[in-house]
Amino acid sequence: MKLRRTLAFTRRVLKQLRHDKRTFGFILLMPLIMMVVFGYTFGGDVKNVSVILVNDDQQATIIVPGSGAGNFTTVNLTFGDYIDKGLNRDTLSIRTSDDLNGSKETVRTSQFFQKSWAVIYIPKNFSKVFADYIARVSQSKAMTNKTLCEATGYFWYDGSCHPFQATNADKYAQKSDCEKAGFKWYSNKCHEDFGDKAEWTPAECGSKGYFWYDDVCHDGADLTIYIDGANPNIKGTVQKAVMDALLKAQTEIFAKTPALRKFQVDSPVVQKDDYAYDTGDIRFIDAFAPGIMAFAMLMVTTMITIFLFIEERKMGTLERLQASPATETEIVVGYALAFSVVSVAQATVILLTGIGLFHIYIAPPVWYHILITYGFLILLGMGHQCLGILLSSGAKNELQAIQFVPLIIFPSILLCGMLFPIESIPTYLRPISYIIPLTYCIDAVRSAMIRGWGLESLCCNGLALIVFLFVMLLGAIMFLKRRA
Amino acid sequence: MLDLTHTTPQGKGKKAPTEDYVIRTKGLVKTFGSLRAVDGLDLEIQKGQLYGLLGPNGCGKTTTIRMALGLLTISNGWVEVLGVRMPDKGLMARIGYMPQETAVYRELTVHDNLELFGHMYEVPLDRMARRENELLELVELTDWRDSMAGNLSGGMMHRLSLACAMMHDPEVMFLDEPTVGVDPELRDSLWHHFQDLCKQGKTIILTTHYIEESRHCDLVGLMRDGRMLAQDAPRSLMQRAGTETLEDAFLYFTKRLGRSRRLEKGKARHGHSTEDAGGEEE
């Protein structure tokens, strides 16, 4: 292999791309546009989902024991209003209504600009159920001796006063254990089988931990989300927003009313996020930038190589090269070097856009991780350029070459983990993800830029790409050596 | 190895010792499926000869050249160029080739094209610019040096392709239809240049449609259906056929072969159709 010839081919490809203004623009603008479009509009988070809030909740009065024995404090609150306040106005675009059935109809039938995705329904007894519960818990807590406890209708066991009658069901956390012990498993909890709720008196209902309203014993007050589940992404977003609002409302209520605070039941189990890497603030765009870099490069390299080689064949220049001292290896490597330059140029555009517009995160030391990024992009680019040469044999002209897009490019986008995590792909399709070289490249670049991994941790990805490159390189050289 | 320094009487069809053949083929055959594009071709071209391969479309001229360059596999027989059995990549630096299609890079300038081929054949860097200017003058493209090749007319592109083939001043040149689409005036000067090169000891094998033009050649081979009809100096061919022009001579030899072929066919009803052969070859 002669360096002079190899570099001559590299220069020729670069010159040709530079002279072809539209292709040149495509190479640099395509990743930039994708980055801007995805960065601004997609952003990963769903925003401004139109929902209707039907808040029928009525104010309830909570009676809690005061500081001294026998004196009580009353607190008036409407839980529903706290939830209303707690809903994320960024994520949800909220319209209120009194008409539950009409709102449900709107969710079913609305379209386009008027689309409403969900009705969030807070029933009228919502605060009452909450108040009953708090009152029971706080009052029973205030009873310090058995007589008083039992006289007020609570239950004395295990050395203290309890709001509800004793049950052994609580200790079973697993469905199988629960059922084995003869209890009933529902609402993700083990319950004692008290029989038919409908036959209970109000006192029985309360003592068993249920809620009496509308003249019937209820499990609780249901905050209902009536949702158009056609878009799982939106469904998840709405559910999460309501969940967050509930938690926020509770926290706020306890914070605002000192009388309640001491009865706040803190769960001993707390969720805390502890990040393996310094990735707490990573946004969608940070994880997307590595993906788009690799993908833009793959798309440009594969397509342009196919086109260039179809042209070489059609114009007879390929045959002209074959009848010269230039070897197939020199041709392929010359091309590969040219596309390495293209990859680096593209990656630079994406990085600059990403840093400039979206302040994407790059783990320190920044230069080191950018170098790793370039390295992996070049490896993938070279491999795909050789693949392009091989594919060009399967296409007689540009029109046929375009048909490789759905064949090669689309599966790559969908299965490589750029937009959707590989974990969201059905298990039987995942092996395909792991034979797509793009997967390894995106993973490596993400790990370098976000997790801050160095080369030593990325050797498996590197190896996968090197194997791909060599197989493709040999394939391309052998293909060019073929003679009729 | 053959001794290139050994001087031989300049061409003109005289027999010479075999070592002096720059191009030799023996029983060369190329089949595409059932088609015999080249059918047992024997060719001997000496150093310093300007050899014209003539014949209608699909007669096997281009196939022969492509086999000699290693662009096509050889079905049977062999080709030797400069005493080396082809295909041989190592020999390519000494060979110039101008394909029939105008094989230049249309998105590069005239200069870039010449430079690329210069690098490809490793023309010494200090000689590149001079060589480029010489060739641009020869093919009359000096004014177009910085034009995009794709913007040139068909004939100009063809001349550029020729210049590219000559960039490394090769010992042997295979020129497939070098004068197609070139103005008569320039065509004439190109022929003179070819003759000059041959006088300097280069060997040129070219193909052409313009039968009359081949009077400039030292030797002419008339091909038809992958076979050699006749091979001689243009003047001798005309004498043998008893005609005034080469064109008539070509027709004379074609008819004679046609007759002998028909006889052959009548005797042994086998082989292939001689009349339909070719056409799909190029």
How much is the pLDDT for A265? 56
Q: Is B73 near chain A, with CB under 8 Å?
A: yes
- Shortest Cα distance, chain A CAs vs residue B165, angstroms: 9
| B76 φ, ψ (degrees, to nearest 5) | -160, 160
| Nearest residue to A382 via CA among A346, A329, A335 | A335
Which runs of E-coded beta strand occur in A228-364? none
Banded pLDDT at B259 (limits 50, 70, 90): low
Q: Is A23 near chain B, with CB under 8 Å?
A: no
Of B66, B108, B120, the CB nearest to A325: B120
- Shortest Cα distance, chain A CAs vs residue B212, angstroms: 28
Dihedral over Cα of A162, A167, A169, A171: its sign: positive
Q: What is the pLDDT of residues B155-167, one digit of tens each?
A: 888 889 989 999 9
DSSP state of B186: H
Cβ contact, residue pair A483, B72, below 8 Å: yes
Q: What is the mean pLDDT of each run of 10 residues along chain A (484 residues)?
A: 90 89 85 80 73 92 72 83 90 91 91 88 88 81 82 82 78 79 75 75 80 81 87 86 88 78 59 72 80 84 86 87 90 89 86 85 89 91 89 83 80 82 83 89 90 89 93 91 82
Q: Looking only at Cα atoms, what is the longest distance across chain A?
A: 108
Domain B1-12+21-82+171-282 sits in CATH at: 3.40.50.300
Cβ contact, residue pair A5, B102, below 8 Å: no
Q: Is A323 near chain B, with CB under 8 Å?
A: yes
User: Which residue on chain A is closest to B164 by alpha carbon?
Assistant: A320
Cβ contacts of A324 on chain B, cutoff 8 Å: 92, 97, 117, 120-121
Of B90, B99, B108, the CB nearest to A316: B99
Of A12, A325, A484, the CB nearest to B108: A12
Are the C-beta atoms of A94 and A53 separated by less than 8 Å? Answer: yes
User: Which residue on chain B is closest to A311 by alpha carbon?
Assistant: B105
Cβ contact, residue pair A484, B99, below 8 Å: no
Cβ contact, residue pair B103, A4, below 8 Å: no
How much is the pLDDT for A264? 60
ipTM above 0.90, yes or no: no
User: Phi/psi class of residue A188: alpha, beta or left (left: φ > 0; alpha: ψ in -120 to 50)?
Assistant: left
Q: Could you tell me the two tokens for A215? A: 């003249």
Q: Is A18 near chain B, with CB under 8 Å?
A: no
What's the Cα-to-Cα distance from A226 to each of A104, A114, A285, B57, rounded to whole Å? 7, 17, 31, 78
All CATH 3.40.50.300 domain ranges in chain B, comma separated: 1-12+21-82+171-282
Q: Is B93 near chain A, with CB under 8 Å?
A: yes
Q: Is A21 near chain B, with CB under 8 Å?
A: no
Cβ contact, residue pair B120, A327, below 8 Å: no
Cβ contacts of A12 on chain B, cutoff 8 Å: 105, 108, 112, 116
Question: Distance (Å, rounded) from C-alpha A372 to C-alpha A451?
Answer: 13
Count chain A–chain B contacts defined by CB atoms under 8 A.
80
User: Which residue on chain B is closest to A324 by alpha carbon?
Assistant: B92
Q: Is B97 near chain A, with CB under 8 Å?
A: yes
Mean pLDDT within B85-113: 89
Of B71, B117, B119, the CB nearest to A483: B71
Q: What is the mean pLDDT of chain B?
A: 82
- Shortest Cα distance, chain A CAs vs residue B120, angstroms: 5
How much is the pLDDT for A42? 62
Question: Distance (Å, rounded) from C-alpha B157 to C-alpha B90?
Answer: 28
Q: What is the pLDDT of residues B222-252, one digit of tens each?
A: 888 888 888 889 889 888 888 888 888 888 8
Cβ contacts of B157 on chain A, cutoff 8 Å: none
- Shortest Cα distance, chain A CAs vs residue B137, angstroms: 23
Q: Could you tell me the two tokens for B65? A: 């050249």
Are the C-beta atoms of B51 and B204 separated by less than 8 Å? Answer: yes
How much is the pLDDT for A144? 80
Cβ contacts of A320 on chain B, cutoff 8 Å: 97, 99, 103, 164
Cβ contact, residue pair A320, B99, below 8 Å: yes
Burial A125-161 (b: 16+ CB within 10 A, else e): bbbbbbbbbbbbbbbbbbbeeeeebeeeebbbeeeeb
Mutation site, A12, A16, A327, interface B, largest B CB count within 10 A: A12
Cβ contact, residue pair B117, A323, below 8 Å: no
Of B92, B116, B148, the CB nearest to A8: B116
User: Which residue on chain B is closest to A17 by alpha carbon?
Assistant: B107
Question: Distance (Å, rounded) from C-alpha A407 to C-alpha B122?
Answer: 41
Where do the structural domains in chain A lie, given as residue ranges?
A: 3-43+283-481, 49-261
User: Which residue on chain A is closest to B108 by alpha carbon?
Assistant: A16
Mutation site, B32, B35, B107, B205, interface A, largest A CB count within 10 A: B107
Indicate the pairing of strand A60-65 with strand B21-32: unpaired
How much is the pLDDT for B12? 42
Q: Is A326 near chain B, with CB under 8 Å?
A: yes
Q: Is B217 near chain A, with CB under 8 Å?
A: no
Cβ contact, residue pair B119, A484, below 8 Å: no
Q: Could you tell me the two tokens for B209? A: 């449609």
Cβ contact, residue pair B120, A20, below 8 Å: no
How much is the pLDDT for B51? 92
How much is the pLDDT for B281? 37
How much is the pLDDT for A175? 79
Are the C-beta atoms of B64 and B75 separated by less than 8 Å? Answer: no
Containing H/E element for B189? Answer: helix B184-199
Residue A186: strand, helix, or coil: strand
User: Which residue on chain A is closest to B71 by alpha carbon?
Assistant: A483
Cβ contact, residue pair A4, B119, below 8 Å: yes
Are the C-beta atoms of A34 and A292 separated by less than 8 Å? Answer: yes
Least confident of A121-130, A215-224, B84-93, B128-137: A215-224
How much is the pLDDT for A465? 93
Q: Is B186 near chain A, with CB under 8 Å?
A: no
- Shortest Cα distance, chain B CAs vs residue A467, angstroms: 29
Question: Distance (Å, rounded) from C-alpha A304 to C-alpha A294?
Answer: 15
Answering whether pTM is above 0.90, one says no
Q: Is A315 near chain B, with CB under 8 Å?
A: yes
Q: Could you tell me the two tokens for B156? A: 């100009």
Q: Is A167 near chain B, with CB under 8 Å?
A: no
| B24 φ, ψ (degrees, to nearest 5) | -135, 135
SS3 for A49-105, per residue? EEEEEEECCCCEEEEEECCCCCCEEEEEECHHHHHHHHCCCCCEEEEECCCHHHHHH
Mutation site, B63, B72, B86, B89, interface A, largest A CB count within 10 A: B89
